[in-house]
Amino acid sequence: MGSPMWAVLKNFWHKLGSPKWFYQMSSRWLPWLSAITLGLLVWGLVWGLAYAPMDAKQGNSYRIIFLHVPASFLAMVGYYVMAIAGIVGLVWRMKMAMWVLRAAAPLGAVLTFISLFSGAIWGKPTWGTWWVWDARITSMLILLFLYLGVMALQNAFENEDSGNRASAVLTIVGMINIPIIYKSVEWWNTLHQGATIKFTEAPSMHMDMFKPLLLMIVTFYLLYALVLIMNLRCEILRHERRSQWVRELALNGKLL
Amino acid sequence: MHPARKQRLQIVLFVMVFAAVAIGLLVFALRENLNLFFPPADIVAGKAPADQQIRVGGYVVKNSVHRSSEDLTVTFRLTDGQAEVAVRYKGILPDLFTEGEAAIAKGRLNDDRILEAVEVLAKHDENYTPPEVSDTAIKPHDY
């Protein structure tokens, strides 16, 4: 494949593997990305929490959906991000990919925790219980343990590379849990309701509520990217702290 | 692709497929046990264990909810469209428990085939509507 498009992609791929290039480029992206994410976050939260109509049956308690659904969504998407990074790291031995894995694990764990915690807060007034061992909630708890397990494995070895490789294998094995979480409400009888947003049908939600929800999901994608880049920059600095370019940036006061 | 990378990619793919098949078989073997509740049809057909605590889930039959005038005892029937199970519960029901909506009751079946519930949960559906349009929008099941 010798087309120019392919060459551009290949070039970008190789650059992405360079910590120095990524650090310098992300310094330029970060102010913009932060400003856009913060703006959308304020917009989405105010829209969802204050202006969206209340639900006929649940009243105002349904508004936790504007946090719960985006967090759950990105907790699962983030696992795929981690798994892809793990595969690239294992097969191509790309150190940046392993650092992405290290940057993504705590972020995914926090999102999964937000999902479980907000779900419990919503469950009490809606279902009448904080917690029930149904297929959806239990598989989500397994996701949290997978994230924590990946984080533990990364630091369980004297040699960081061994830890990275072991955690990448665990990530890949655990990937099967994501379709199980997603499909659990269809495959089994659960207390958790079915999906409101489906890829093939119109959402079973009034448009005045769906639009702010969609905005919050987009915002969480950006928030995920933002925090992932920031975590990755920390990983880069930690590993490259002795290199010439980091010293130069530090001496010139341009580390941020 | 470099032969060493190709081999590593093959190993990674093998691990993925192997893990997916293993966990898939595990989940398949556990499929009945992973259900949170029995539908009333299974209770009537005798598929649910009679001498232990079970959960029954279904829609609360219209006009089946009767509250005792003396204490907190409430009786109602759950249906899945095929069969009905009577439930007796002493306690406070969740706010969203309503006739025509789904609920899950946990307890034991007594000799009269009535579920003596120790816990009743409301199951919310996936529909969200503002109050002013809820009359015209998707209605709960008319059982």
Q: What is the dihedral of CA A186, A187, A191, A192, to 10 degrees?
A: -40
| DSSP letter string, A23-83 | HHHHHHHHHHHHHHHHHHHHHHHHIIIIISPPBTTTBGGGGGHHHHHHHHHHHHHHHHHHH
Q: Which long-range contacts (CB under 8 A, 24 or more apart) does B25-29 make?
A: B27/A180
Question: Does the CB of A214 have a partner CB in chain B at under 8 Å?
Answer: no
Q: What's the pLDDT at A2?
A: 59
Q: What's the pLDDT at B133?
A: 66
Interface pTM (ipTM) of the complex?
0.83
Nearest partner of A81 among A100, A68, A94, A63, judged by Cα: A100
For B12, the closest of A91, A125, A191 (CB atoms) is A91
C-alpha to C-alpha distance for B30 and A116, rounded to whole angstroms:
24
List all residues of chain B from 80 to 99 with a beta carbon under 8 Å from chain A: 93-98
Backbone angles phi, psi at B47, to 5 degrees: -80, -20
- A–B CB contacts, 8 A cutoff, strictly below: 122
Residues of B in contact with A209 (CB under 8 A): 128, 130
List all residues of chain B from 58 to 77 with a beta carbon under 8 Å from chain A: none
Q: What's the pLDDT at B143?
A: 45
Tens of pLDDT along chain A (256 residues)? 557 888 888 888 888 888 999 999 999 999 999 999 999 999 999 999 999 998 888 888 899 999 999 999 999 999 999 999 999 999 998 999 999 999 999 999 999 999 999 999 999 999 999 999 989 999 999 999 999 999 999 999 999 999 999 999 999 999 999 999 999 998 888 889 888 887 777 888 888 999 999 999 999 999 999 999 999 999 999 999 999 999 998 888 877 7
Question: Does the CB of B120 have a partner CB in chain A at under 8 Å?
Answer: yes
Question: Does the CB of A250 have a partner CB in chain B at under 8 Å?
Answer: no
Q: Where are the domains of chain B?
A: 1-33, 36-136
Give the CA count within 13 Å in the CB-facing half-sphere of B60.
Answer: 25
Residues of A in contact with B138 (CB under 8 A): 204
Nearest partner of A101 among A25, A156, A166, A31, judged by Cα: A166
State whether residue A132 is helix, strand or coil.
Answer: coil
Residues of B in contact with A87 (CB under 8 A): 9, 12
Q: What's the pLDDT at B137?
A: 43
Nearest partner of A107 among A240, A237, A230, judged by Cα: A230
Q: What's the pLDDT at B135?
A: 52
For A188, the closest of B5, B35, B121 (CB atoms) is B35
> What is the residue whose two structure tokens read 């580390």?
A255
Q: What's the pLDDT at B136?
A: 46
Residues of A in contact with B130 (CB under 8 A): 53-56, 206, 208-209
C-alpha to C-alpha distance for A79 and A101, rounded to whole angstroms:
10
For B20, the closest of A53, A87, A176 (CB atoms) is A176
C-alpha to C-alpha distance for A172 and A86, rounded to whole angstroms:
7
Residues of A in contact with B31 (CB under 8 A): 187-188
Q: What's the pLDDT at B51?
A: 81
Cα→Cα distances A50→A47, A60, A123, Å: 6, 10, 21
Residues of B in contact with A129 (CB under 8 A): 119, 121
pTM of the model: 0.90
Tens of pLDDT along chain B (143 residues)? 788 889 999 999 998 899 999 988 988 888 778 889 999 998 888 888 878 899 999 999 999 999 988 888 999 999 998 899 999 999 889 888 988 889 999 999 988 889 999 999 999 888 888 877 655 444 444 44
Q: What's the pLDDT at A68?
A: 95
Closest-CA distance, B69 to chain A, in angstroms, reads: 23
C-alpha to C-alpha distance for B73 and B68, rounded to whole angstroms:
5
Question: Does the CB of A195 have a partner CB in chain B at under 8 Å?
Answer: yes
For B45, residues 6+ apart whose C-beta sits below 8 A from its C-beta are: B83
Tokens of B54: 């079970």
Tokens of B114: 């009535």
The class that CATH gives domain B36-136 is: mainly beta
Tokens of A62: 């349904």
Question: Does the CB of B21 have a partner CB in chain A at under 8 Å?
Answer: no
Q: What's the pLDDT at A210?
A: 92
Contact B139, B101 (CB under 8 A): no
> What is the residue whose two structure tokens read 């595990």?
B26
